Chain A
Amino acid sequence: MAEGLSLVAGDESRAAYSPAPGAAPGAPLPGARWPLPAPPGPTLSELFAASPRDAGWVGFLLAQAKRSKPLLWVQERMAILESGRIYPPGLGSMELIHVEARDARAALWAMEEGLRCSGLSGVIGELWGDPQVLDFTATRRLAVAAERSHVPCWLVRLGGTANLSGARMRWRIASGPSIANPFDTRAPGASAWDAELFRARGAPPGHWAIAHEADSFHLVAAPGGGALGEVERLRA
Chain B
Amino acid sequence: MPHLAVERWARSSDFGPDDPIVLTVEGTHGLLIHAVTKAAAERGARAGARLTDARALDPSLVAVPADPQGDAALVQRLARWAGRWSPLVEMDGEDGLRLDVTGVAHLFGGEPGLVRDIRHRFAKTGLTSRVAVAPTAAAAWALSRHAPCICGPEVAARVAPLHVSALQLDPGIVRTLERLGLKTVAALIGVPRLALARRFRGAEDVVEALDRALGRKPEPLTAIGTDPPPRALLKLEEPATHPEAASQALERLIPAFVRELEDRRLGARRLSLTGYRVDGSVAVASVATAIPSREPRHLQRLLADKAATLNPEFGFDAFALSAEWTEDLGAAQESLVEEPSGTRELARLVDRLTVKLGPRAVQRPQAVESYLPERASGWISALAKTEPVALPSAQRPQRLLDRPEAIDVIYATPEGMPRRFMWRRAIHDIARVEGPERIAPEWWRQPSSARLRDYYRVEDADGRRYWIYREGLIGDGRGGLPAWFIHGLFG
Contact = CB atoms under 8 A, between A and B. Distances in A.
B463 A175 contact: yes
B74 to A, nearest CB: 36
Query: Which secondary structure dominates where chain B touches chain A?
Result: mixed
Contacts of B357: 99-102, 106, 110
A87 B352 contact: no
Contacts of A177: 431, 459, 462-463
B463 A178 contact: yes
The residue among B353, B363, B423, B434 with the most chain A CB atoms within 10 A of its own CB is: B353
B462 A90 contact: no
A131 interface: no
The residue among B360, B424, B459 with the most chain A CB atoms within 10 A of its own CB is: B459
B409 to A, nearest CB: 16
Q: How large is the interface on A (under 10, 10 to 19, 20 to 34, 35 or more residues)?
A: 35 or more
A105 B356 CA distance: 12
Interface string A147-188: 000000000000000000000000000111110010010111
Nearest to B345: A119
Given A59-B491, A87-B377, A187-B457, A99 B362 contact: yes
Interface residues of B, number: 53
A98 B365 contact: yes
B398 A55 contact: yes
A177 B342 CA distance: 40
Contacts, number: 177
B432 A186 contact: yes
Interface stretch (B8-16, B26-34, B399-407): B399-407
A80 interface: yes
B365 A96 contact: yes
Contacts of A84: 397, 399-402, 488-489
A53 interface: yes
A31 interface: no
B398 A175 contact: no
B426 interface: yes
A68 B340 CA distance: 17
Interface in B337-371: 340-346, 348-350, 352-353, 356-357, 360-365, 367
B169 interface: no
Contacts of A188: 432-434, 457-459, 465, 490
A113 B433 contact: no
Contacts of A110: 353, 357
B396 interface: yes
B85 interface: no
A175 B465 contact: yes
B379 interface: yes
Interface string A47-85: 000010111111111100000011010000000110111
B464 interface: yes
A145 interface: no
B62 interface: no
Contacts of A106: 356-357
Nearest to A56: B491
A89 B349 contact: no
Contacts of A62: 398, 491
B432 A85 contact: no
B159 interface: no
B342 A119 contact: yes
Interface in B144-184: none
A83 to B, nearest CB: 6
Contacts of B431: 177
A104 B191 CA distance: 80
Interface string B252-280: 00000000000000000000000000000
Contacts of B346: 70, 97, 117, 119-120
Interface in B367-384: 367, 373, 376-377, 379, 382
A191 interface: yes
A179 B462 CA distance: 13
B224 interface: no
B345 A118 contact: yes
A86 interface: yes
B397 A101 contact: no
A221 interface: no
B187 interface: no
Given A87-B488, A192-B463, A97 B362 contact: yes
Instruction: Kindly list the 9 A-B residue pairs having the minimum CB-CB distance in the complex, ordered from nearest.
Output: A58-B491, A59-B491, A119-B342, A187-B434, A84-B399, A55-B489, A88-B365, A119-B346, A90-B396
17 contacts: A56-B464, A58-B399, A58-B491, A59-B398, A86-B400, A87-B488, A88-B367, A89-B391, A90-B395, A90-B397, A90-B490, A110-B353, A117-B349, A119-B344, A174-B463, A175-B462, A188-B457
Interface of A: 51, 53-62, 69-70, 72, 80-81, 83-91, 95-102, 106, 109-110, 113-114, 116-120, 174-178, 181, 184, 186-188, 191-192, 194
Given A55-B397, A89-B376, A99-B362, 16 more contacts: A53-B489, A55-B464, A58-B489, A60-B491, A87-B396, A87-B399, A89-B373, A90-B398, A100-B360, A110-B357, A119-B343, A176-B463, A177-B459, A178-B432, A181-B432, A191-B490
